[in-house]
Amino acid sequence: MSAAPVRDDYIRPSALSAIAICPGRPTMEAAVERVFGQAEEEAEDDEEGEEEAPERGNVAQLGTEAHAWGETGIRLLAMDRDGKPNEILPHIDTIIAKLNELHAEPEVTKMDKWTWWCIEFYVRKVHELCVMHDIQPLNILVEHHLTMDGLGFRQGGTSDCILVVPFVKVIVIDFKAGFLDQDDASEHDQLAAYAYGAAKEFSVDQVQVWIVAPRCDKDRRVSGGAFDAEALRTAGIWIEAITRRARIADPEIVPSYTSCLYCKALTRCNPARSWLMNTQEALTLIGDPTDADEWGRLADAQAIAGRFNKEGKAKVKKHLIGGGQATGWKLGAGRAIWSLLEVAKAIDFLDEKGFTEMCSNALTIKIGKLSQEARDLLEGEKLIEERPSSPSLKPVKGAKAAL
Ligand code: SF4
């Protein structure tokens, strides 16, 4: 049996920006997971066509697979398949061709075209930095664990790629395969922690950090920053202060878009709930925001409310399915829905069959929007399955809704 989650499990470099705003977040997340079990589950009942953006769970999976391919590409830069240092480092096109060969192997699950382009972009950028800094293959480290001693992280963090110029400098590269806009590398809290950890581990006082985020607009796909000894010292003090503040007996709980968006305690958090209700009340009583900051706060609150609603709904349904009561609400009847078994394969298949416009740069396709011809083709390939939906949540007529 795994140990009960504790606050330190949630004090991680990747959560630094959120904890800087809401020091109580790790305490709340650990408590919620301890008391209520596993992290909040994503709602399972989205109607077909209801969501245009990919689901968070799908995005996480896509990100994991993209990172795995990025890692493979960087390993090809560093080593040949027999584990010997690669002699073809300058020839990036050869390496990209090898990566494509691996991706084309029959048993491999295929990435969609846009994600594959992102992976190639990342590998090319790492190669460019290798050439620029004359990095030797053995000094290319992939998925390297940094302990970050002294910053207050119990688990440290794993850097996507580190290039080492021994005794001179370290280059930390972070691949962002997702759909969120990123802070500049020089302003990125997680990378500041990595820079500090890398400087300590490799005994250097010069660190470059790079974010490679190929899905961003062209001028934001690559961003770099540099830390000298003074900047590393300042970053270390700041980060240590944040992690220390999160460990005090009664840390402050501060709702905001950045802190709440991925907080596992969101649907159990009273301050976050009050924040959403206050925003709603202000909208009703005071009217529209009057300046850019207030409009921004409204946009933040509605984005968090969206997540709150979705996860809250999933929780109520689970409670009702388990035989519980929710005053004023009941479960509706389930129904059959159609879903795609392998989205990337379906996109490639339709692309091959001439549905190019629909598939160009597509991350997902909605069955409800397919023509009958496309749907028949997918069914013929057994790429569509029928499954029961989870029942809908319905108000009981005449009863006071409790939610
Ligand atoms: S939901 Fe928001 S306010 Fe509540 S603990 Fe999490 S980050 Fe803090």
**SS3 per residue for 74-88:** HHHHHECCCCCECCC
- Nearest residue (by CA) to ligand 1, atom 2, is 260
Q: Among 29, 266, 270, which residue has the most ligand 1 atoms within 8 Å of its CB, making it the best to mutate?
A: 266
User: What's the pLDDT at 335?
Assistant: 65
Q: Which two tokens stand for residue 40?
A: 């909040």
pLDDT in tens, 251-275: 999 998 889 988 999 888 999 988 8
Tell me which of 333 and 321 has the higher pLDDT. 321
- Compute, in angstroms, the gap from residue 194 CA to the centroid of ligand 1: 24
**Alpha carbons 208 and 200: distance in angstroms, whole number:** 14
3-state secondary structure at position 325: coil
What residue type is assigned to position 206 of the chain? Answer: Q
Q: Which atom of ligand 1 is nearest to the CA of 254?
A: 3
Ligand 1 mutation pick, 35, 259, 308, max ligand atoms within 8 A of CB: 259
Pocket test for ligand 1, best of 11, 16, 22 (most atoms within 8 A of CB): 22
Distance 26 CA to ligand 1 centre (A): 9
Instruction: Out of 93-97, 238-242, 332-336, pick the least confident.
Output: 332-336
Query: Is residue 260 lining ligand 1, measured as CB closer than 6 Å?
Result: yes
Q: Is 32 in the pocket of ligand 1 (CB under 6 A)?
A: no
Q: Is the pLDDT of residue 122 over 50?
A: yes
186-231: per-residue pLDDT in tens? 778 899 999 999 999 999 999 999 999 988 888 888 999 999 999 9
10 Å Cβ neighbour count for 290? 9
Average per-residue pLDDT for the chain: 82
Under the banding of pLDDT at 50, 70 and 90, the label for residue 59 is low
Among residues 304, 315, 320, the alpha carbon closest in space to that of 266 is found at 304
CB of 269 within 6 A of ligand 1: the answer is yes
Cα 144 to ligand 1 centroid, rounded to whole Å: 30
**In this predicted structure, what is the pLDDT of residue 390?**
72
Kindly state the average pLDDT of the residues 63-92.
77
Ligand 1 site-directed mutation target among 27, 257, 260, most atoms within 8 Å of CB: 260
Ligand 1 within 6 A of 209 CB?
A: no
Instruction: Give the atom of ligand 1 at the shortest distance from the alpha carbon of 263.
Output: 6
> Contact, 359 vs 350, CB < 8 A?
yes
Residue 375: both structure tokens together: 């749907």
Per-residue b or e along 204-243, where b marks 16 or more CB atoms closer than 10 Å to that residue's CB: bebbbbbbbbbbbeeeebbbebebeeebbeebbebbbebb
Q: Is this structure's pTM higher than 0.75?
A: no
Alpha-helical runs (H) found in 202-323:
229-245, 257-260, 270-285, 292-321
Mean pLDDT over 110-138 rounds to 90
Say which amino acid occupies 337. I
Ligand 1 neighbourhood includes 26 CB (under 6 angstroms): no
Distance CA 233, CA 239 (A): 10
The answer to whether the CB of 253 is under 6 A from ligand 1 is yes
Distance, in Å, from the CA atom of 213 to the CA atom of 172, rounded to the nearest integer, reads 14
111: Cα separation from own chain's centroid:
17
Among the listed residues 362, 343, 378, the one whose alpha carbon sits nearest the alpha carbon of residue 113: 362
Percent of the chain scoring above 70 in pLDDT: 86
